[in-house]
Amino acid sequence: MKTKPRRLQRAVTLGVIALATVSLQSVAAQAAPHPDPNPSNRIVGGTRAEQGEFPFIVRLSMGCGGALYAKDIVLTAAHCVDGSDATGITVTGAVVDLESPDAIKVKSTKILVAPGYDGKGKDWALVKLEKPIDQPTLKIAKDPKYNEGEFDIAGWGADKEGGQQQRYLLKAKVPFVDDATCQKAYGDRLTPGEEICTGKLHVGGVDTCQGDSGGPMFRRDEAGEYVQVGIVSWGDGCARPESPGIYTEVSTFAGDIEKAASEL
């Protein structure tokens, strides 16, 4: 696997998937630009989410995460579903254990990729489901005031550098990294205004990774309710010092997302 190619998008194709929330002693997994299935039940340095803690988070069968924008619409990353068969995705929800008999599995019927998506910025998409998943939804940020502070991340992606996927949903918190600092790491690969950066900049150790693409980055609003601020998109490796994780800036595209969802 190459080290630091231009864009390391955080998707896999098969297997159960997990979040890289590794200890500071562990180096986190490199996000593969192409499918790299590594199924495993092992968790390294992560914190397991409780059943029902984040009921809006779902898993997509191609190896990505997502969030219930509506009970029958999933918000995910464009690079996860671009070119996919509109009826070929299975969405799993309602569980933290992907092997649970209580898992709800629903097929897709339509896919809408962000207009103008070309692999740089605009990394969002919607997946319409054949029937609703009866779980709470996650509202999206419509105001950039939520784009700073500390964020929650959760998913089933790889657990360490070159690592394996997870059966159980893991969670972590990551701090905001400003655009100027982030551009020192990524230069013109970053698209300010369309992407948000996070991470423990100087020490690394906590991040999303391959298999977490499309999953939500979220925080509490003034009312104490969760609001989605970002969508897991890409990064150089995972949890490396001086290499922040990159997320689609949801507030920038809130109007476009709402309009697209109304037309699905």
pLDDT tens per residue, range 102-133 = 999 999 999 999 999 999 999 999 999 999 99
Q: Is 213 a catalytic residue?
A: yes
| Domains present along the chain, CATH in parentheses | 57-135+253-263 (2.40.10.10)
Can you point out the beta strands (E) in 22-179? Answer: 47-48, 57-60, 64-70, 73-76, 90-93, 104-113, 125-129, 139-140, 150-155, 170-177
Burial of 85: CB neighbours in 10 Å, binned 0-12, 13-18, 19+: exposed
Q: What is residue 97's three-state secondary structure?
A: strand
Q: Is 123 a catalytic residue?
A: yes
Structural Rg of the chain based on CA atoms: 16
Q: What is residue 51's three-state secondary structure?
A: coil
CA separation, residue 219 to residues 2, 178, 226 (Å): 33, 17, 5
Count CB atoms within 10 A of the CB of residue 103: 14
Quick: pLDDT tens for 1-26.
222 322 456 565 443 333 443 322 22
- Amino acid occupying residue 202: H
| pLDDT at position 204 | 82
- CB distance 35 to 153 below 8 Å: no
In whole angstroms, give the CA distance from residue 23 to residue 125. Answer: 32
User: What pTM did the predictor assign?
Assistant: 0.85
- Amino acid occupying residue 181: T
Report residue 258 as tokens.
């709402």
Which of 108, 213, 243, 251 is catalytic? The answer is: 213
| pLDDT at position 79 | 97
In whole angstroms, give the CA distance from residue 212 to residue 22. Answer: 14
Which of 36, 72, 123, 212 is catalytic? The answer is: 123
Q: Is 23 a catalytic residue?
A: no
| pLDDT at position 41 | 25
Which of 26, 36, 72, 79 is catalytic? The answer is: 79
Q: Could you say which residues of the chain have pLDDT below 70? A: 1-46, 160-161
